């Protein structure tokens, strides 16, 4: 990958990032995509370079790395590494999920924390950017082992977080079960019941509609785009990757809006159901039994299962919603999707599309909705969970869902207008990055050189 930018000031920042953060390709990719897209804003905002806003914004405020030792069911000690990257607190307490996956390393969490700054800014809520996690793999572990890990993880993390300091949430591998164990340990150590984590269970301060929020929010964003085109989800064929939290609820909302979702996947393979995915079957397999997606064809014999996840992008569709993980759509996948007539790509996952693939979509007339705008519904609803915790109140599902829809509409309009004002209509990458950046930059300037 070539990380050279034509603008000398931006290029200098990029080269410094590479020099100071060795072997962190995902972080370089996120910064490169960001710097490339914000260039049109430099002429009207010279402070971004002159006051080193950009140079400061690519440097995390704080990075914490720690040992997580825990005991497995055989009585053996296991050792993982825990992280929390507190990237930017200019507009509010750090906020971002905890990823538990064997691939987790500092560079991946830096890319995620960096994107989170602009995503959180776009929600309009007072939340800074952060991200954390561990190379622990919850897959195949017993509840007892997951609890042992989560408690050990929190025994260090608790000193760095707090309802007004840093509020972690779920992400890949961290669902309600893991958040529950972490919250219990935080409360035990600090003797405080506060809204220190979001994605909590409903019986102890969680918000209705948080589980659905990222997937629903993605569809609300895409629906705004379809409405702008005078169109709707009705009758559209949709391919969604993943079979986790985001994918399941994106499927649910797309179906409610009249689309036919024909494919889902996990990291081992994908299912194709020409009649439309039966979501109750998927929920039973994934949410209740925690099994592989291949089980689907046992319940629905007319559907097909294929090993390997890449083939999912060869299925013809009008709308593709990648909702699994980073870099899951490369240039070959993008070419296959375009050749098969895809019109819209909406990122439910964080950075699921490589830079090359993104450029290919945009130069071939595909409307591309970047994750930091399109998947912001999850963190926005986490922000609503924080508000409810502070108020000691719980809102109804309908209230939270209506607020989520309004926030996603605002984000869409903000990105759309920002791009239009810069003469780049329908470039939602530039719209999202510039709109997200300018608010954070304004707060950083006001707070001086810190």
Binding region for ligand NDP (CB under 6 A): 170-173, 214, 242-247, 265-268, 309, 323-325, 328, 348-350, 375, 378
CB nearer to ligand NDP: pick between 157 and 329: 329
- The catalytic position among 131, 236, 286, 372 is 131
- The nearest distance, CB 248 to ligand NDP, in angstroms, is 8
Min separation Cβ 125 and ligand NDP, Å: 14
Task: Tell how strand 166-169 and strand 128-134 pair up.
Answer: unpaired
Burial (CB count within 10 angstroms: exposed 0-12, middle 13-18, buried 19+), residue 26:
buried
Q: Which residue's beta carbon is nearest to the bound ligand NDP? A: 244
- Smallest separation (angstroms) from ligand NDP to the CB of 245: 4
Cβ 389 to ligand NDP, closest distance in Å?
17
Question: Beta partners for 59?
Answer: none
E strand map for 197-303: 237-241, 260-265, 269-272
What's the DSSP call for residue 298?
H
Distance CA 387, CA 195 (A): 9
Q: Which is nearer to ligand NDP, 349 or 441 (CB)?
A: 349
Distances (CA, A) of 51 to 34, 178, 240: 18, 41, 42
CB nearer ligand NDP, residue 237 or residue 350: 350
What totals of helices (H) and strands (E) does the chain contain, helices first?
17, 12
Q: Closest CB to ligand NDP among 53 and 116? A: 116
Which C-beta is closer to ligand NDP: that of 241 or that of 418? 241
187 included as an active-site residue: no
Give backbone dihedrals phi and psi of 207, rounded to 5 degrees, phi first. -105, 135
Inter-residue contact 366 to 343 (CB < 8 Å): yes
Q: Please check whether residue 374 is in contact with residue 347, taking contact to mean a CB–CB distance below 8 angstroms.
A: yes
User: C-beta of 72: minimal distance to ligand NDP in Å?
Assistant: 20
Residues 438, 199: Cα–Cα separation, whole Å:
28
Closest of 173, 131, 377, 371 to residue 267, by C-alpha: 173
d(Cα 305, Cα 274) in Å, to the nearest integer? 12
Q: Minimum CB separation from ligand NDP for residue 162, in Å?
A: 21
- Residues with a catalytic annotation lie at 131
């Amino acid at each position: 990958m070539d990380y050279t930018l034509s603008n000398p000031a931006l290029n200098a920042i990029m080269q410094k990032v590479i020099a100071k953060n060795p072997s962190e390709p995902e972080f370089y990719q996120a910064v490169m995509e960001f710097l490339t897209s914000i260039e049109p804003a430099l002429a009207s905002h010279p402070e971004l370079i002159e006051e080193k806003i950009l140079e400061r914004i690519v440097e995390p405020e704080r990075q914490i790395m720690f040992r997580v030792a825990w005991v497995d069911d055989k009585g053996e000690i296991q050792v993982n590494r825990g992280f929390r990257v507190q990237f930017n607190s200019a507009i509010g307490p750090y906020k971002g999920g905890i990823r538990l996956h064997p691939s987790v390393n500092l560079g991946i969490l830096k890319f995620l924390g960096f994107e989170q700054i602009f995503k959180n800014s776009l929600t309009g809520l007072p939340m800074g950017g952060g991200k954390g996690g561990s190379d622990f793999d919850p897959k195949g572990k017993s509840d007892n082992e997951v609890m042992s890990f989560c408690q050990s993880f929190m025994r260090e993390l608790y000193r760095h977080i707090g309802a007004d300091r840093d509020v972690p949430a779920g992400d890949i591998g961290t669902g309600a079960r893991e958040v529950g164990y972490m919250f219990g340990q935080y409360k035990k150590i600090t003797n405080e019941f506060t809204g220190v984590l979001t994605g909590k269970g409903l019986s102890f301060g969680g918000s209705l509609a948080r589980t659905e929020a990222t997937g629903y929010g993605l569809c609300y964003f895409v629906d705004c785009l379809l409405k702008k085109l005078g169109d709707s989800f009705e009758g559209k064929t949709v391919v969604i990757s993943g079979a986790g939290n985001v994918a399941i609820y994106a499927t649910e909302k797309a179906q409610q809006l009249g689309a036919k979702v024909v494919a889902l996947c996990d990291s081992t393979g994908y299912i194709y159901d020409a009649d439309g995915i039966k979501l109750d079957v998927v929920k039973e397999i994934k949410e209740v039994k925690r099994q592989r997606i291949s089980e689907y064809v046992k319940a629905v014999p007319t559907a097909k299962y294929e090993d390997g996840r890449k083939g999912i992008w060869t299925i013809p569709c009008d709308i593709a919603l990648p909702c699994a993980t980073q870099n899951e759509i490369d240039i070959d996948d993008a070419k296959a999707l375009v050749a098969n007539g895809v019109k819209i790509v909406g990122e439910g996952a964080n950075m699921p599309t490589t830079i090359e693939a993104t450029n290919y979509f945009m130069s071939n007339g595909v409307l591309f909705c970047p994750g930091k705008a399109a998947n912001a519904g999850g963190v926005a609803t986490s922000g609503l969970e924080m508000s409810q915790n502070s108020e000691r109140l719980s809102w109804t599902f309908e209230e939270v869902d209506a607020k989520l829809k309004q926030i996603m509409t605002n984000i869409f309009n903000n990105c759309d207008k920002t791009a239009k004002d810069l003469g780049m209509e329908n470039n939602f990458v530039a719209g999202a990055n510039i709109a997200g950046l300018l608010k954070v930059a304004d707060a950083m300037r006001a707070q001086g050189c810190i």
